[in-house]
Amino acid sequence: MSTGHATQQATTTGSTASRSADGRGPRRRVVSSRVALLAVGCAVVLVVLSFASLAIGSQPFSPGTVVAALTSPDPNDPATAIIGARVPRTVAGLLVGAALGLSGGVLQGVTRNPLGDAGLLGINAGAAVAVVLAIFTVGVGSLTGYVWFALAGAAAATVLIFALAGLGPGRATPLKLAITGATVNAGLASVISGVLVSSSESFDAYRQWQVGLIAGRDWEQVLVVAPFLGVGAVLALVSGPALNGLALGDDVARGLGQRIGLTRATVCVSVVLLAGGATALAGPVAFVGLVIPHAVRSLTGPDYRTVLPLCALLGPTLLLGADIVGRVIAPPGEIAVGVMTAVIGAPVFIALVRRRKLGAL
């Protein structure tokens, strides 16, 4: 009996291994090849958009002029000065887009919620409230001052949301997090409105920032925020395997030896740095963190080891594309990138929802 059982088990194991070697191996290679092609394609598109961001504007330039301005700049040439001013704007778009894409990806992973986004969950609103209070109470008027308040506000909002969602019976479930985040978002928005109504000076200083802008950003502002975004991006990217474990549920993740608390703390720190830094640099930019992870998963599947790097590539692709469109549709002025990402992102998100179940992460 035992010999027959052992033989049957060995046969079953051998056939399973054979199926894995014959079926899953090639399938994984196909998926890996597809992801590599997607990454290369996204990188190429991003390079093209970055070049277009330097060439397109109220004063367009030919590709040759852009190349000449970058490789052999002439201090007396007006084209060199204009293109030089567009370089930090383009870099800001790359950084903010990557930060928002990554923050949305890790938030949807750690909350197991398809609506996980720094904007919808109130994290961006926390950063915005801190900036408004800094303008109203301290008179802060520069991005160097904004960034510290934005990071502190984003951190406070994150802690508040997870703490409130964890109250009562059960853990911080995806539904509780979504409801808590929406409630906190609404409450913080009312605080912003109250402060701005009572102070016209604060409203004037805040209104240009809150629509979402990368226009007018210079190297000093970019370099202030870049270290925070860099650290946040590293923490987000290394959390990919841990997010795969969390996707199986807390109990399964613990059974696999994963430290749930440490994973959530690392992800929350990355979200604070990414969302807070991006909000400080560009203001509240909508839909990038919500749409991009869904678009990536529809192309690659749910493995966060590939989802997060592609979010970092597709996020700036959407942001720069929206910024370029905003420059050309209303000449000689332009439409803020925060408005354009909402205009472009809303129908894309609706199309994604129609194609696949929203709850399928």
Q: Residue 205: its pLDDT value, please?
A: 67
**Structural domain span for residue 141:** 86-355
29 occurs within a structural domain: no
Q: Residue 259: its pLDDT value, please?
A: 83
35 occurs within a structural domain: no
CA distances from 247 to 7, 100, 184, 211, 360 (A): 36, 21, 25, 34, 11
CATH of the domain at 122: 1.10.3470.10
Count how many domains the chain has.
Answer: 1
Q: Residue 17: its pLDDT value, please?
A: 39
- pLDDT, tens digit (0-9, with 9 covering 90-100), for 317-335: 999 999 999 988 877 778 8
339 occurs within a structural domain: yes
28 occurs within a structural domain: no
5 occurs within a structural domain: no
193 occurs within a structural domain: yes
Q: Residue 5: its pLDDT value, please?
A: 43
100 occurs within a structural domain: yes
Q: Residue 14: its pLDDT value, please?
A: 43
Q: Residue 334: its pLDDT value, please?
A: 85
127 occurs within a structural domain: yes
- pLDDT, tens digit (0-9, with 9 covering 90-100), for 160-172: 988 888 786 667 7
3-state secondary structure the chain: CHHHHHHHHHHHHHHHHHHHHHHHHHHHHHHHHHHHHHHHHHHHHHHHHHHHHHHCCCCCCCHHHHHHHHHCCCCCCHHHHHHHHHHHHHHHHHHHHHHHHHHHHHHHHHHCCCCCCCCCCCHHHHHHHHHHHHHHHHCCCCHHHHHHHHHHHHHHHHHHHHHHHCCCCCCCCHHHHHHHHHHHHHHHHHHHHHHHHHCHHHHHHHHHHHCCCCCCCCHHHHHHHHHHHHHHHHHHHHCHHHHHHHCCCHHHHHHCCCCHHHHHHHHHHHHHHHHHHHHHHHCCCCCHHHHHHHHHHHHHCCCHHHHHHHHHHHHHHHHHHHHHHHHHCCCCCCCCHHHHHHHHHHHHHHHHHHHCCCCCC
Q: pLDDT tens string for the chain (361 positions)?
A: 444 444 444 344 344 434 444 445 555 665 678 888 889 999 999 999 999 999 998 889 999 999 999 998 888 889 999 999 999 999 999 999 999 999 999 999 888 877 788 888 888 889 888 888 888 887 776 777 778 888 899 899 988 988 888 786 667 777 788 888 889 988 988 888 887 777 776 676 677 667 778 888 889 889 989 999 999 999 999 999 889 888 887 778 788 778 888 888 899 899 999 998 998 888 888 889 988 998 898 888 889 999 999 999 999 999 999 999 998 887 777 888 888 888 887 787 787 667 655 444 4
